[in-house]
Amino acid sequence: MRAYGASAEDFGKLAVSQRANAMSNPNALLRKPLSLQDYLDARPIADPIKLFDCVMPCAGAEAFLVMREEIARDLDLGFTRVLGTIERHNAFAQDSVQFRGGWAVDADELWDMSGVTTDDVDLLQTYDDYPVISMMQFEDLGFCAKGEGPDFVGQHEFTVDGSFPHNTSGGQLSVGQAGAAGGTLGLVETLRQLTRTSQGDAVPDAEIGLVSGFGMINYDRGLCSAATILARESS
């Protein structure tokens, strides 16, 4: 907020959009409608963080299958192809405050490896223990420049049928954070969207999805960042 002019309304827009996405997901923990005013009026946790900035711990699990293409075709399974992946640990250790993550180091390699651009992505799933972390991923993955996250949020709608579908299951902020399984929530949701098996509302004609991960939190920052780009393949 101090460095780039982001507002509570910017972060609230992401939380409210994710709640709207969760409304059609039968496995989402939080499916009560959430308005921007609800978000702004929520009780404080640690200023400026308020209640709906925070994930809800819960029980749960995620799983997906990895196999050779010929097996998937023999089983008549819809599947996705990995176009590119990146992972980095302890990037920018010298920064006094974490304004960027390892994606900023490797994003160009990810896009070059995958052969697609940001314009080709039909949906994005970010790790979302707080909305600010999602905004940081928008910037570091190359959807906008550093510091332009607030403007990017203002220019888009993040619901399943919006201009930039994001955390389409509801994300951890509305589905809940099932321990380490929360780290694969976005991956499983992208697989479901691309194979036309979504449990909630579907992103129309989705062909390419990007999933971003973040974790290994120590006292003041996340140490591990990762991302993968997946493309739909028909059986």
Write down the pTM of the prediction.
0.94
d(C-alpha 155, C-alpha 174), whole Å: 23
**Three-class SS of the chain:** CCCCCCCHHHHHHHHHHHHHHHCCCCCCCCCCCCCHHHHHHCCEEECCEEHHHCCCECCCCCCCCCCCHHHHHHCCCCEEEEEEEEEEECCCCCCCCCCCCCHHHHHHHHHHHHCCCHHHCCEEECCCCCHHHHHHHHHHCCCCCCCCHHHHHHHCCCCCCCCCCECCCCHHHHHCECHHHHHHHHHHHHHHHHCCCCCCCCCCCCCEEEEEEEEEECCCCEEEEEEEEEEEECC
Residues 180 and 186: beta-carbon distance below 8 Å: no
Q: Is the pLDDT of residue 86 over 80?
A: yes
Query: Binning pLDDT at 50, 70 and 90, where does residue 235 land?
Result: low
Interval 133-153 mean pLDDT:
97
Q: Which two tokens stand for residue 218?
A: 């120590």
CATH of domain 8-233: 3.40.47.10
Position 179 scores a pLDDT of 87
Decide: 189 and 169 in contact? Cβ < 8 Å: yes
Q: What is the pLDDT of residue 218?
A: 77
**Statement: residue 214 has pLDDT above 80:** yes
Mean pLDDT of 49-67: 94
Alpha carbons 170 and 21: distance in angstroms, whole number: 5
Return the residue matching tokens 């140490």: 223
pLDDT score at 215 = 86
Let me know: does 190 contact 171? Beta carbons within 8 Å: no
Among 171, 164, 83, which Cα is nearest to 127's? 171
Q: Alpha-carbon distance 136 to 31, whole Å?
A: 26
